[in-house]
Amino acid sequence: MTPAADPTTAAEVSRHIPALDGVRALAILLVVPHNANMLTLPIPAVDYPAALLMNAGWVGVQLFFVLSGFLITGNLLDTRHSNNYFRAFFGRRALRILPLYYTVLLLAFVVGPALGLGSAEFRATAPRQIWLWTFLSNWTQPFGGGVDGFSHFWSLAVEEQFYLLWPFIVVRCRPITLLWVCAGSIGLALLTRLALLLAHLPHETLYMFTICRMDALTAGAAAAALLRIPTASARAQRLTPGIAIVAAVTLIATLVGTHGLAIFGNRTQTVGYTLLSLGFALVILLTALPTTGVIASTMRLLSTTPLRLLGRYSYGMYIFHLPLHVFLGMALIHHFAPHPTPMQAIVYAIALTAVTFLLAAASYELFEKRFLKLKRKLMPTWSPEGRPSGPPAPASARSADSAT
């Protein structure tokens, strides 16, 4: 298709978009080295690019949120008239997220202690595990409620809370109405962060509270809604070069304006989060539109097999990477390099990413897929008079399977 082709239909939007697997891969490749960052000052100039990427790698979580908002909302919009709208959505999400999540918690908090495993710091913080089991750690961790080795689970809590709320909103909204809901949510998230900052609450509250990250989730949702409005979709197809330029300018301006995306900088945590959300949403929007030239080449690059594999296993990588780093990796690197040089720290981050990938691949192929096969029993169904034109959205649901 060319930029001047017919408007994108809901059935076309619902197709599996290979480039989104690549986007997911980029997100996990940012997050893992960031959380495994052992760089210490001073850093040689030659290592500055790697240091910048590792320090700013937290934006991978922001990208995950935007991508999740896009995929989940697209699926919900395409199935909101189905007979089993809620049961299909919640059942499929549970099969994707919960088996691996709770298996890891069982191994960490039941099997490990029974075998006498676990560091002193882990044992000291383990009594706070209730917040992990209930997906509420993002509300308690900013006030010292974290568990050693599992601090990254806050973002999964944000996702689960979004899953619980969003279907009830989408089912009542046409795509055009949902755009206004998303715009209001983006503004509310920004205002909430400003209020928390003025109230001198810990910076972690702005980082982890669900309401503070709703601009990322709903920016992705807005992109999904826009694609399901024929006139808006047709116009977006004609404007893909302009969308790409705006996305690039927005992301570069955010990088510069926040002094390299300093994680707890005031600019980053206020307008920075919002601008990142909008920039990433435009990038994800481009993956669903017909493109040509440099943009099309970029989408083909994101669709390459290595990146798609990384994207497929990204959920497992996210689950495993921090426990591996905290309980095994740090001990190993301090044994062989008590004071790691910048190059050793970079090599360590690369090695941890590779090991995490292998573990996640084994988990997906040997364990997670057994549960994913059950999702076939929870496909959306329609009554004859209520079925939309074209197929429902099984493909977009597959796209969301690996969302973190």
Answer whether residue 5 is part of any domain: no
Q: Flag whether 109 is in a domain.
A: yes
pLDDT digits (tens, 9 = 90+) for 348-381: 999 999 999 999 999 999 999 999 999 999 999 9
Is there a domain that residue 4 lies in? no
Q: What is the pLDDT of residue 394?
A: 35
Which structural domain, as residue segments, surrounds residue 355?
A: 10-38+46-400
Distance of CA 75 to the CA centre of its chain: 16
Assign 3-state DSSP to the chain and report helix, strand, coil percentages, each to 5. Answer: 75, 0, 25
120 domain residue, yes or no: yes
Residue 214 has pLDDT above 90, yes or no: yes
* 391 part of a folded domain: yes
- Average pLDDT over all residues of the chain: 92
Quick check: is 3 in a domain? Answer: no
pLDDT digits (tens, 9 = 90+) for 80-125: 999 999 999 999 999 999 999 999 999 999 999 999 998 999 999 9
**Residue 402 confidence (pLDDT) above 50:** no
Question: What is the number of domains present in the chain?
Answer: 1
> Are the C-beta atoms of 54 and 88 separated by less than 8 Å?
no
Residue 167 sits at the vertex; the CA angle it makes with 274 and 216, to the nearest 5 degrees, is 10
Q: Residues with Cβ < 8 Å from 297, sequence gap 6 or more?
A: none
Task: Count Cβ atoms within 10 A of the Cβ of residue 44 and give its class: 0-12 exposed, 13-18 middle, 19 or more buried.
Answer: exposed
Is pLDDT above 70 for 13? no
Q: Determine the residue type at 333.
A: I
Q: What is the mean pLDDT of residues 310-333?
A: 97
- The encoded tokens of residue 348 equal 């360590």
Look-up: residue for tokens 């399977």? Answer: 401
The yes-or-no verdict on residue 384 having pLDDT over 80 is: no
The predicted pLDDT at position 351 comes to: 97
Element (H, E) at 382: none
Biggest alpha carbon–alpha carbon distance for the chain: 68
Residue 1 lies in a domain: no
- Whether 201 is in a domain gets the answer yes
